[in-house]
A and B are shown apart, each in its own frame.
With several copies, the nearest count.
Chain A
Amino acid sequence: MKVIEMIIKPFKLDEVKDALIEIGVQGMTVTEVKGFGRQKGHKETYRGTEYTIEFVPKVKVEVAVPDGLVPKVVETIARAAKTGTIGDGKIFVRDLQNVVRIRTGETGEQAL
């Protein structure tokens, strides 16, 4: 199993979610994060004091999927999250040793 973790633009969340549901993903977890990459931040000024804000608001989405589904999921995300402008974000694919569904106690792929 793998965890696919993506950092995307916040207003793309609903589109990505819908695209993933369509290909059979049954759960996901979303975190509000701030990111820093090629995309420049911006300045803020308060009574003459300027701050450079390098971090841009982003959304992190984590989906645990069986190995077989990985390519399809990655490709789906890459399509749904793309605007073609800087700051579109990244997809990270990471190993997942085991999963347990707390309600039923199921483990492994059944628990996804």
Chain B
Amino acid sequence: MTVSRLYRVAILSVFVWALLFAPASGLWAQEAPVAVPPAASAQEVVPAQPVVAAPAATPAPVPPPKVDTGDTAWVLTSSALVLAMTVPGLAIFYGGMVRRKNALNTILQCFVVACLIGVQWVLWGYSLAFGPDKAHLIGGLEWLGLNGVGGDPNADYAATIPHQAFMVFQLMFAVITPALITGAFAERMKFSAFVVFILLWATLIYDPLAHWVWAVGGWMRNLGALDFAGGTVVHISSGVAGLACALVFGKRLGYGTERMSPHNLPLTVIGAGLLWVGWFGFNAGSAVASNALATSAFVVTNTAAAAAALAWMVAEWVYHGRPTALGAASGAVAGLVAITPASGFVGPVSSIWIGVGAGVLCYIAVVMKNRLGYDDALDAFGIHGVGGTWGALATGLFASKAVNSAGADGLFFGNPAQFGIQAVAVLGSWIFAFVGTYLILKVVDMTMGLRVTDDEERAGLDQSQHNEAAYS
């Protein structure tokens, strides 16, 4: 693992990059507009996404809200797919990567997040995130217990599906985000502290951030930042929170001396597969309609995942001589992360670059971690933090109004300002997520303690926290 090899990867990737770019400009020009032309039917012009349309793009005559069965079918299907990303997807993606003695605890953490947020979101989370805006910072309490959130569409967010359908789709996002963080503190957190941490983090970090970026009145949305399906809200926030966790928790016992290889990689690859499949709901569902925009998001999602997995494997092949299954799975997830904010704004060829960038950058981040010495056990930061940051910035490079007229053009399409806006949104999310998570962790640590004892850690969390064994 010499430094020179690392350089080789970097150089290689720049080279590949350049190679791809040359013909790219030509190909981009040819990219067929997938989104609606100005003259399209009214229904489709409704900004398809709660997200971040450039304010000016709001179309003038909005049809009276009416539930469309096809749109509703797609959003319900997408909601189911996004739940499948967390339970069982992420649960086993992470669960397969830990040691046998911690398998159940790791799986259970994702499962419990789905349960906690499943109730929290209904009782107060949705109201804080999407309720009537207060000072561009937070939603009001008017929608507590889903009061007023019923079967009629809410035209602010999705004019053609029941308001509750939008709510439950967003619920699944609120579930997966904190679940992603668990990768950072895997194999060493007290279960009781975990429960408290998740509730605090969801309420104090996720709900406000979702409001800023997606809710009517949120300041980042007003800024014109583009985030189609959650690059900042979901991935930067969870990834950066993961970094804070890794720093606060410190290393696992035996880190660097004992073998800590994944106990069941087939489980991890199945998890990656479910994440990939579910991500179609995540990104294409974020159109909150079943139309050309959803289709376009679907296509670029698949393309970026594929390209990123290949890029990660090539990087491994160059750097340590063999491509791996864990690498392919990790690369695919990295690509999915990176395309998330861009998925409603870029075309298929652009998505290849975004994927290649994600695969290489996240691979480098994961390798660098071993140098820097913090123990982000399952690379929550290395993949979601780095991939999400790259994706948010890349949206500012590759976005094109030819793809989504309600979006904006990026740097490569003649609008450098958008890149600046994206950078501001990234920075804001980083700072908020890092500082907020750090404070929450410190409070929990001082009041109830974050980490299991050494004996409990050595015996494994399945035994010490749950009196169970994963296999027998």
Query: Chain A residues near B1 (CB, 8 Å)?
Result: 48, 50
Closest Cβ of chain B to A21, distance in Å, is 16
Which B residues between 301 and 332 are near A, CB-CB below 8 angstroms? 316, 319-320, 322, 324, 326-327, 330
Structural contact, A44 and B258, CB atoms closer than 8 A: no
Query: Chain A residues near B369 (CB, 8 Å)?
Result: 48
Whole-angstrom CA separation of A68 from B105 in the bound complex: 47
Q: Chain A 31-68, CB within 8 Å of chain B: the 1/0 string?
A: 00000000000111111111101000000000000000
Structural contact, B363 and A14, CB atoms closer than 8 A: no
Whole-angstrom CA separation of A50 from B468 in the bound complex: 10
Query: Chain B residues near A43 (CB, 8 Å)?
Result: 467
Structural contact, A46 and B261, CB atoms closer than 8 A: yes
- B262's nearest neighbour on chain A, judged by CB, is A46
Q: Chain A 71-106, CB within 8 Å of chain B: the 1/0 string?
A: 000000000000000000000000000000000000
B469 within 8 A of A: yes
Q: Which of A11, A14, A44 contacts B467 (CB 8 A)?
A: A44
Whole-angstrom CA separation of A42 from B262 in the bound complex: 17
Query: Chain A residues near B258 (CB, 8 Å)?
Result: 11, 14
Which B residues between 347 and 373 are near A, CB-CB below 8 angstroms? 363, 366-367, 369-370
B379 within 8 A of A: yes
Query: Chain B residues near A44 (CB, 8 Å)?
Result: 261, 463, 467-469
Structural contact, B254 and A11, CB atoms closer than 8 A: yes
Structural contact, B330 and A45, CB atoms closer than 8 A: no
Whole-angstrom CA separation of A45 from B321 in the bound complex: 10
Whole-angstrom CA separation of A99 from B313 in the bound complex: 46
**Contact size range, B:** 20 to 34
B136 within 8 A of A: no
Q: Which of A11, A46, A48, A49 contacts B363 (CB 8 A)?
A: A48
B459 within 8 A of A: yes
- A44's nearest neighbour on chain B, judged by CB, is B467
Whole-angstrom CA separation of A46 from B322 in the bound complex: 11
User: When A and B form their complex, what is the total count of cross-chain residue pairs whose Cβ atoms lie within 8 Å?
Assistant: 47
Given contacts A42-B459, A42-B463, A42-B467, contact A47 B257 (CB under 8 A): no
Instruction: Offer 9 A-B interface pairs, CB within 8 angstroms, sorted by A.
Output: A14-B258, A45-B324, A45-B468, A46-B324, A47-B330, A49-B370, A50-B1, A50-B320, A53-B469
Whole-angstrom CA separation of A43 from B459 in the bound complex: 12
Query: Chain A residues near B367 (CB, 8 Å)?
Result: 47-48
Query: Chain B residues near A48 (CB, 8 Å)?
Result: 1, 319-320, 363, 366-367, 369-370
Structural contact, B326 and A47, CB atoms closer than 8 A: yes
Which B residues between 216 and 267 are near A, CB-CB below 8 angstroms? 254, 257-262
Closest CB pairs A-B (n = 7): A48-B367, A45-B467, A47-B366, A51-B259, A48-B366, A46-B261, A44-B467
State the main secondary structure of chain A at its contact with B.
Answer: strand
B458 within 8 A of A: yes
- B256's nearest neighbour on chain A, judged by CB, is A49
Structural contact, A51 and B463, CB atoms closer than 8 A: no
Given contacts A11-B254, A11-B258, A51-B261, contact A46 B458 (CB under 8 A): no
Whole-angstrom CA separation of A45 from B369 in the bound complex: 15
In the complex, which of the residues A14, A42, A44, A49 has the most CB atoms of chain B within 10 Å of its own CB atom? A44
Structural contact, A11 and B468, CB atoms closer than 8 A: no
Structural contact, B257 and A14, CB atoms closer than 8 A: yes
- A48's nearest neighbour on chain B, judged by CB, is B367
Q: Chain B 436-472, CB within 8 Å of chain A: the 1/0 string?
A: 0000000000000000000000110001000111000
Closest Cβ of chain A to B398, distance in Å, is 27
Closest Cβ of chain A to B243, distance in Å, is 16
Whole-angstrom CA separation of A47 from B254 in the bound complex: 18
Q: Chain B 108-140, CB within 8 Å of chain A: the 1/0 string?
A: 000000000000000000000000000000000
- B382's nearest neighbour on chain A, judged by CB, is A47
Closest Cβ of chain B to A74, distance in Å, is 24
- A15's nearest neighbour on chain B, judged by CB, is B257
Whole-angstrom CA separation of A110 from B260 in the bound complex: 37
